[in-house]
Chains A and B, each alone.
Chain A
């Protein structure tokens, strides 16, 4: 087969649907990745305009440009949009676009999940954007501290917009986390051992892992606050056993790792671009991987440094201060690895490198002020002043925006196949760099002179006026710089000259693709022998295009890519990916219906949409799979492999495990909240406790045994190739077990638990039980699913992937049922 024929066949198989309906059904990672990037840039512009309005208001003392009600919406939305609608989606887009191309795969592990993530982002972002346009935007700060954000102090819809809109968008973050981890761990080119992975993939692997554990506390906190606002269950109100500090803990448990979630992908881009610019391999690959891992670990231990002034005991302050300072060490390791790489190489001052120099200067200053703020005595002075505003912009603009601008110029020739022709990029750099420092450098002094954050006006006697005027002028210079950047990129897209295949002389696989990235990425997948495969084999690209690597064929209209062993990178199976699908769009519409009915207090409608979500989810999973075994099939010349659902630990197994890890984090956060309130909140212990529910506990324990035994017997029966009856009966037994568990939970809630609106004790227990009921119901659905799949012939001894995943769901459902009842029992008697 010729390269051209292969290109035509693969393009047909991997292409999006033709016409307008392709917009709604495409699942291709290149398209979805670009969508994320473009949408994120749009929101960067929106949040940028808001910041201009903020600077216009602050430019002069006693300004009457906007009043406090509008100003509060401005800074709340500036922060929220930059965090949730720009930074996170931006790196998700970059990851989705680049990862498969760098790792030598044809798509992400769960293409439909990528599409669902984007649609959730699109709808959730739209809710926030519309609220902004009609003047009903959130105004409680991007941190939404209670009691200011509760129903008493924010009676309008504003806070609900934040809680529901942001949670909606977070669905896309959770989807991305699961998908990025799975893709990096198993969808790589054969031979790409973990220690041969591009550093970019290491950074994203760790980032996605952090998202998996950082977002659940915020999601939980938002759910609790929304339920408190909507139904009056007390979690944060002090007179009914709640505590506003619980919100702060949950928020910053997310909020601090969030900073590293934003910085690490950008650092990954730096570790990719900088050695290419320096024309030498990066020094200290292993050290950098160690630094990333320790950053991730440490970042979960320092959320309290946002709460140094909340009256936390001095010993705890010392511990969290030390942990916060310690973060400087892995950061220092990376900075000096990059600096050493530049020093030992022959760096060229090309455009991406110029932006990386901007990164160095801005980020190092931000890091140093960060160490200052980690010192408790200094923080209690500088906290909530303009000094912190300056610090966080140095860290985030230095640590994210400058590297992203470098990444834009570095990968634009890959994305559009063209090079820049004008020197506007340089001019844009200088305007952004000078404007940025003009805005924020002196703002440190503004803070030291006592200007607090989030004030819409100040008097001329304070001595802050000239500083604020300079900051405002700098802000507008920076804004023009960004406008110039957009114009430059536009010119490059439409007028740029053709780029060669590998214009920078890089060594990573994405540069072995034909220009303009074909929908299938690689006509055949390479065998990777080093960290920079393109430097080993300069002729790799044409050889791959001729189909001389793995899977160099267009077979049976199937979208095929390879799965490898996570550590050794040996080829293990052929993954058949799903094609174009409308499910992600329809699912996101149902979710949007749910969130909107919550937002407008149409509570009877909400369950209808949840039923819709369940039905779509069922159909989504039902599609695909086969009623006959494929056995081992050809993967390359003389090599055969099984397909993924006939091999152990397929992508779905990873997704299940990761989703359960995230859900487990939510449960742990809830239990943390329970014990926190019990020990810290004033109105404890509660007057009315739950009654002991020994009978229910015994029923649930029996359910656990039935479910556990049933699902195991069913798995064994499937493995031994038993008939439908021998598989079906144990599954029915497992379903009965799960049903017993759910019944025990419901009975305890109705008969023995106090009403949830009286005290935080009861409210938390209700949430805990509802969580367990949810997981029990999910396990029931899963068991019913494999039961019916088995009867239709979709399950065999080889095709047992579904039952493995359902076993995890079922076991988790049983365990959380028991945990809920156990915690309820203990709380009833102590």
Chain B
């Protein structure tokens, strides 16, 4: 499980838990992104030290050292170190990215989300091939199964975001954007509109109910 890589309790950041916290992931995409964040945070702390320590020491009175010149400062640190760190990070982030995009997978559930000012309408597959279960404000998902959410909007641009499950995707009139969602455990999660959409933006929220297999079967009417 990805979450074991990020021992949040050990870091003493219990405050990172929360209904909308990126740092309290509940799905593989959100988990690998959270891990990416912790790695980048550690790297950034190191890089800050590389800049701030010489910056502080430069003001101390010291015997005149042999000048190091452009070779050390610009080619070594500016080009070399920056380039190396960046290359490593981009390769890592590329593989994290691969885990979040909607690659073909078996038994993908297809659900559509439609945003307007200021509602969310979710259309889930029902018992028959033509059946659609339409729910306002609550998205229902099966636990452990990949879901491709097709996101669009009818008036202005909104964005679908359930931070504990995955990153966000814009809901744009005339476009259908696909977001891959996987939720590890049954439960209730929260989501909100992330793109400024007018005076009701802050209240443009929704819930995500993640079902166990039995519960999902009951919800869709596809009794096992």
Contact = CB atoms under 8 A, between A and B. Distances in A.
A380 B18 contact: no
Contact of B70 (A147, A287, A347, A361): A287
A634 interface: no
A357 B54 CA distance: 12
B177 A381 contact: no
Interface in A433-467: 448-458, 461-463
B155 A383 contact: no
Q: From A310, A378, A450, name the one whose CB has the most chain B CB atoms within 10 angstroms.
A: A450
A492 interface: no
B97 A325 contact: no
A287 B55 CA distance: 20
Interface string B76-88: 0111011100100
B74 A148 contact: no
Given A283-B70, A371-B86, A448 B200 contact: no
B33 A381 contact: yes
Contacts of A360: 51-52, 55
Contact of B174 (A238, A344, A347, A461): A238
Given A364-B51, A450-B18, A371 B89 contact: yes
Given A148-B197, A455-B202, A448 B23 contact: yes
A452 to B, nearest CB: 5
Contacts of B177: 310-311
A325 B90 contact: yes
Interface string B20-34: 111100000110110
Given A243-B174, A343-B54, A68 B69 contact: no
A405 interface: no
B36 to A, nearest CB: 6
A251 to B, nearest CB: 13
Contact of A68 (B23, B78, B94, B202): B202
Interface string B167-205: 111101111011000000000000011111111111000
Contact of B173 (A67, A244, A349, A448): A244
Interface string B85-122: 01001100110110111000000000000000100000
Interface in A217-274: 238, 243-245
Contacts of A343: 54, 57-58, 68, 73
A309 interface: yes
Contact of B30 (A381, A382, A682): A381
Interface string B149-177: 00000011101010100111110111101
Interface in B4-22: 15-16, 18-22
**On chain A, which size bracket covers the interface?**
35 or more
Contacts of B178: 311
Interface string B44-78: 10011001101101110000000111101110011
A736 interface: no
Nearest to A150: B156
Contacts of B48: 364-365, 368
B82 A148 contact: no
Q: From A141, A332, A375, A377, name the one whose CB has the most chain B CB atoms within 10 angstroms.
A: A377
Given A147-B156, A329-B86, A311 B169 contact: yes
A145 interface: yes
Contact of A377 (B20, B44, B97, B155): B97
Given A148-B156, A384-B159, A378 B93 contact: yes
A175 B78 CA distance: 35
A372 to B, nearest CB: 5
A377 B68 contact: no
Interface residues of B, number: 77
A326 interface: yes
Given A72-B199, A329-B79, A340 B97 contact: no
A452 B192 contact: yes
Nearest to B90: A325
Given A244-B173, A332-B77, A333-B78, A377 B16 contact: no
A59 to B, nearest CB: 15
Contacts of A287: 70, 74, 78
Interface in A345-399: 347, 349, 357, 360-361, 364-365, 368-369, 371-372, 375-385
Contacts of A2: none
Contacts of B74: 283-284, 287, 333, 336-337, 340
Contacts of A53: none
Given A339-B51, A463-B15, A381 B82 contact: no
A318 B155 CA distance: 30
B40 interface: yes
A163 B203 CA distance: 28
A204 to B, nearest CB: 22
Contact of B68 (A309, A340, A378): A340
A335 interface: yes
Given A371-B86, A384-B194, A463-B15, A449 B21 contact: yes
B20 A318 contact: no
Contacts of A339: 51, 54-55, 58, 73, 77
B72 A342 contact: no
Given A328-B82, A329-B82, A448 B21 contact: yes
Q: From A67, A337, A448, name the one whose CB has the most chain B CB atoms within 10 angstroms.
A: A448
A344 B73 CA distance: 10
Contacts of A284: 70, 73-74
- 5 pairs of A and B residues whose beta carbons are closest in the complex: A450-B20, A380-B167, A340-B73, A311-B177, A332-B82
Interface of B: 15-16, 18-23, 29-30, 32-33, 36-37, 40, 44, 47-48, 51-52, 54-55, 57-59, 67-70, 72-74, 77-79, 81-83, 86, 89-90, 93-94, 96-97, 99-101, 117, 155-157, 159, 161, 163, 166-170, 172-175, 177-178, 192-202
14 contacts: A148-B157, A284-B73, A311-B169, A321-B90, A332-B79, A347-B59, A368-B44, A377-B93, A377-B97, A380-B33, A380-B167, A452-B161, A452-B194, A463-B18
